[in-house]
Amino acid sequence: MSTDTRLGRVRTELRSLLILATPIIIAQLAHTAMGFVDTLMAGRVSPQDLAAVALGNSIWVPVFLLMTGILLATTPKVAQRFGAGQEADIGPLVRQALWLALAVGGSAAALLWNAEFILRTMNVDPALITPAMGYLRAVACGFPAVALYHVLRCFSDGLGHTRPAMVLGILGLLLNIPANYIFIYGKFGLPAMGGVGCGWATALVMGFMLIGMLVWVKWAPYYRASALFTRFEWPQWTVIKRLLSIGVPIGIAVFAESSIFAVIALLIGGLGATVVAGHQIALNFSSMVFMIPYSLAMAATVRVGQALGRGQPREARFAAGVSMAAALGYACVSASLMFLLREQIAQIYTPDKTVIAVAATLIVYSALFQFSDAIQVTAAGALRGYQDTRITMLLTLFAYWGIGLPVGYALGLSDLFGEPSGPSGLWQGLVVGLTCAAAMLTVRLARSARKRIRRAA
C-alpha cells in the first residue's frame, strides 16, 4: 500500500472518529459542568451546604460510574449488530437492557437512600450528616431515570448517532442552573432547601434527559429500523446475563479507576487543609482534561464494534490504532500546556500562594500521566468494542490497586524509600499505576485484534 493511500485511510478514519467523538466530548463536558455549578451555587449559601454537597458527590458519583459502566455493555452489542446489518435484532436487545437499567438504577438509588452508614463510618461531622443525606436522597430519586437514559444513549451511540447526548447534555446544563436557584432559595412557593436543593435539581435534570431521549428515539427516522417501541417484552434472563457478563467488568474497571482518586483524597486528608486544597485543584482540572480521551474511547468502542459487525477485523484493528494515535496526540498537547501553565491553572481556582504552590507541583505529575492515561482509557474503549472486558477489568484492578496505590503509599506516607514525600509520592504512584495499565491494556488489545483476524482467516 502506498504512503498516500495509507495517509488517506488514516485521514478518513480520523474524520469518522472525530465526527463521533466531538458530540460525546461536549456532552461529557456539560455533565462535568453540572457538578461545578452545584459546587459553586451551594458554596454561596454556606460552608455547611458546600460541605454537604461535596460529601454527597464523593458517594453518588462513584456509584453512578459503576452503574453506567455496567450499562455500557449496550454500546458494543448494538454497534456489532448495526455493522452486521442486523438492525431487527437491536430492538429486542435494547428492551432487555432497559429492564437491566431499571434493576441497576433502582438498586443504586436504594444504596444512596441508605448511605448514612457510609458517612458515619467516615467519621463525618454529625452536623453535616443530615444535609448530606437530604442531598443524596434527592439525587437517588433520579437514578432510575438516568439509568434508562443511559441505555438509550448507548443505543444511539452504537448506531453512530452521538448528537442527541450532546444536545440533551447542553439543555440539561441550562436547566440545572435555574433549577438549582429555585430549589436552593425556595422560589415559586417552594421551601428554601440550601444544598439539598442541588440534589433535587440534579434529579429533575436526570428525568428531563430521559424524557428528551425517549422523544428523540421515538420520532427520529434513523431509529425506526430497530423497532424499539413496537412491542413489549418481559425480562429474559439469558439476554440480561450476557449483558451483565460484559457490563459488570466494565463497571468495576471504571469504578476502580475513579475510586483510587477518592482513596488518595482520604489518605491526603490528614496532611492539612492546604495539601487537600492543592490536591483537589489538580484533580478537578485533570478530570476535565480527561474528558477528551474518555470521549475518544467511547467513539473507539463504536468504530471497532461496527467494523467487527461488518466482518472486517483488520478495519477494527486499524480503527483502534487510529483512536490510540489520536489520544496520544491530544496527550502531547494537554501535557505540554499543563506543564507550562501549571501556576496559571492553579490561580484560576485560588489566590492563596501556598495552595497554588502545592497544586502546581501536583499538576506536573498530572501532565506526566496524560500519556499513559490517554493510552489506557482508549485501549479499554477499543477492547469494549471487541467485548473483551473481563481480562481488562483484572488488568485494571491490578495496575491501580496492586501497583499504583501501594507504590504511592510507600513513597508518600511511609519511610520505606526514605523521607515520606506526601502528596507528591501518592501522585507518583498514580503515574506508575496508569503507566502499567497503559502497557498491559495495549498488549491485550493487540492480542485481541490478532485473535479476531486469525479467526476470520
* pLDDT tens sequence across 78-96: 988 888 888 888 889 999 9
- Residue range 114-136: average pLDDT? 80
What pLDDT score does 122 carry? 67
What value, to the nearest 5°, has the Cα angle with vertex 437 and ends 435 and 442? 100
What pLDDT score does 8 carry? 81
What pLDDT score does 287 carry? 80
183 vs 194: CA distance, rounded Å: 7
424 vs 409: CA distance, rounded Å: 10
Contacts of 12 (CB under 8 A, 6+ apart): none
Q: Is the pLDDT of residue 340 over 80?
A: yes
- Residues listed for the chain: 457
Let me know: does 104 contact 147? Beta carbons within 8 Å.
yes
194 vs 51: CA distance, rounded Å: 12
- Residue range 451-455: average pLDDT? 89
277 vs 285: CA distance, rounded Å: 12
Contacts of 210 (CB under 8 A, 6+ apart): 145, 146, 148, 149, 152
- Grid cell for residue 62: 462513584
Q: Is the pLDDT of residue 423 over 90?
A: no
- Centre a 10 Å sphere on the Cβ of residue 195 and count the other Cβ atoms it contains: 31
What is the overall mean pLDDT for the chain?
Answer: 86
Q: Is the pLDDT of residue 4 over 80?
A: no
195 vs 43: CA distance, rounded Å: 8
pLDDT (tens digit per residue) in 14-58: 898 888 888 988 888 888 788 777 767 776 677 677 677 777 777
Alpha-helical (H) ranges within 159-272 are 163-185, 195-219, 237-268
What pLDDT score does 319 carry? 92
Contacts 24+ apart (CB under 8 A), 409-413: 409/267, 412/267, 413/267
- Count Cβ neighbours within 10 Å for each residue of 414-440 and write b for 16 or more, e otherwise: eeeeeebebbbbbbbbbbbbbbbbbbb
What pLDDT score does 354 carry? 83
What pLDDT score does 204 carry? 94
Q: How many helices (H) and strands (E) does the chain have?
A: 18, 0
Q: What is the reported pTM?
A: 0.84
Grid coordinates 501518592 are at which residue?
426
- Residue range 429-442: average pLDDT? 92
What pLDDT score does 170 carry? 92
Q: Is the pLDDT of residue 318 over 90?
A: yes
Q: Is the pLDDT of residue 114 over 80?
A: yes
pLDDT (tens digit per residue) in 350-407: 777 887 888 888 888 889 888 999 999 999 999 988 988 889 999 999 999 999 889 9
Q: Name the more confident of 149 and 355.
A: 149
Q: Is the pLDDT of residue 128 over 60?
A: yes
Rg over alpha carbons for the chain, rounded to the nearest Å, is 22
What pLDDT score does 270 carry? 62
pLDDT (tens digit per residue) in 232-270: 889 899 989 999 988 899 888 888 877 777 777 667 766
Q: Using pLDDT thresholds of 50, 70 and 90, give the confidence band for residue 161.
A: confident
Percentage of residues of the chain with pLDDT beyond 70 = 94
Contacts of 139 (CB under 8 A, 6+ apart): 56, 60, 112, 199, 202, 203
Let me know: does 370 contact 329? Beta carbons within 8 Å.
no
What pLDDT score does 432 carry? 92
What pLDDT score does 444 carry? 95
- The segment with the largest mean pLDDT, out of 146-155, 281-290, 402-411, 425-434, is 146-155
